Every structure is written in C-alpha cells, then in structure tokens.
Amino acid sequence: MKQRILIVDDEESICEILQFNLEASGYQTVVVHSAEEALELDLSVFDLILLDVMMGKMSGFKMAKILKENPKTASVPIIFCSAMGSEDSKISGLDIGADDYIPKPFSVREVIARVKSVLRRYSYSQSQIMNSTPVAAEGESEIYTFEQLVVDVAKYKCTIASEEISLTKKEMELLILFLKNKGRVLSREDIISKLWSDDTMVFDRTIDVNITRLRKKIGEYGKHIVTRQGFGYGFDI
C-alpha cells in the first residue's frame, strides 16, 4: 500500500509541484489549502504531513499543536515547509514536535529526500520497539507500568490514573525505553542507537527537547526521568 502524505499550503503552485513530485516518487497525496480544511479530515490515516506555517486564520504551528495534543494524531510525523526561515522559527517548529523544518524556497529533490528520511526513521523506530520488547503471552498485551503510569505498547497508548496522555511518537518511544530500563542510566549514545536510524543526524538538543516535553506531559512522574551529568538519562525508582 502506498504511503499517504497530506500537503497543507495556501499556495496552489507549491501544492501542485509537491503533489506531482511526491506522486511520481510513489506516494499517495491529498492537498488542502488551510489548517481549518485539514482539521476536517481524519488525519490519523496519513503517514506524514507537509505543513506550511503562515496560512489564513490558523497557522501551521497552531495546527501542529492541536495534532500533538490529540492521542489519535500525536504520532503522525510533520515536516514544516515555510518562508519563515529564521533560527527561532525552526526551533519553534521543532519544539512543537515537528520532525523536520524546510525553509522556502526549497529544492523539490531535498523535500523528497527529507520525506523519505522521516518515513524511514519512523519505520525503523517502530521496528526497534517491536523487536526489542519481549513477546507477550498469547492474548496478552505488552504493558509497562510504574504506579499509575501505564504504557500499552500494542495500542501505543499511555495513561495516568486511567486518563490518556497525548505523546508524540518519539516521546512514546523514549518513555517505553525508560520504563524497560528502570533504575538504569542510558547514555545519549544508547538512546540514539535504539531510537534513531544510523543515517539520521541527531543533535544533543533533539534529545533534550524530547525529554523535556515528555517530563512535562507525564506530570508528577516526570521527576523520575533524571539527568546524570556526564553519563546520560534514567528512570529513577
């Protein structure tokens, strides 16, 4: 089955170029011209969203925040494509939870390459989680718990006191990794090797931002994710 990509941009010419080249590369595409129009769709069915920032009444940043706060769409990867190319804009987009940020004007070949990289990374991360977790007994789910914090790997669902918590794909992968290794310090190299593919360049800030967001989202349990200066991170019990 072809991977589905949603293009959200108010410039029709850019949409046409992206749609033509993505479909020529083997992807199925859907095009909309505003965040409001996009939010009327079932966004959970898409494998990736290419999202402009400056559009009409609702910006791409605001739309991305809505997606990341919804458990059904939190794990859908987002690449921003925007004329806002400043460092602050890029950092803002990545802090929201985007997987990449491409300034306009862009090379179509670069966009295709980055789309492939993000999709490959997500596929790799998912396989790492499934291959590195013990197989549950027949009829059972793979579940990790700590007090009232529960992660169901099969359902890709995190709850605290039975209330579902919206996590991005990378935040979920980090939490699963920490819960699997409670009481153990994981170096940055350990985390990168388990959650990112070999062809992905990962900066220290990328790990820090994801862990900071994860701590905030899991509330009081965030204090259990500790930093060991000079060593790495761990889930302290």
Split the chain (237 residues) into runs of 10 and give each run's mean pLDDT.
92 95 95 95 93 92 91 87 85 85 90 90 59 45 85 88 88 91 87 73 74 92 89 87
Q: Single out the residue of 54, 46, 51 nearest to residue 81, CA to CA.
A: 51
CATH number at residue 165: 1.10.10.10
The pLDDT score that the predictor gives to residue 139 is 45
Q: Which of 103, 127, 151 is the last residue of a domain?
A: 127
The domain boundary residue, chosen from 110, 127, 144: 127
CA 224, 228, 233, 235 dihedral sign is negative
With a threshold of 0.85, does the pTM exceed it?
A: no
pLDDT at 197: 64
Nearest to 34 by CA among 75, 71, 6: 6
Distance from C-alpha of 97 to C-alpha of 92, rounded to nearest angstrom: 9
In the chain, the number of structural domains is 2
What is the reported pLDDT for 132?
46
CB burial class (10 A; 0-12, 13-18, 19+) of residue 231?
exposed
**What is the pLDDT, as a whole number, of residue 224?**
93
- Same domain, residue pair 103 and 151: no
- The whole-number pLDDT of residue 6 equals 96
Instruction: Specify whether the backbone of 56 is left (phi greater than 0), alpha (psi in -120 to 50) or beta.
Output: left
Domain-ending residue, one of 62, 97, 127: 127
Q: Does residue 67 share a domain with residue 144?
A: no
Residue 49: beta bridge partners? 6, 78
Please report the pLDDT score of residue 138 as a whole number. Answer: 45
pLDDT of residue 17: 95
Range of the domain at 220: 135-235
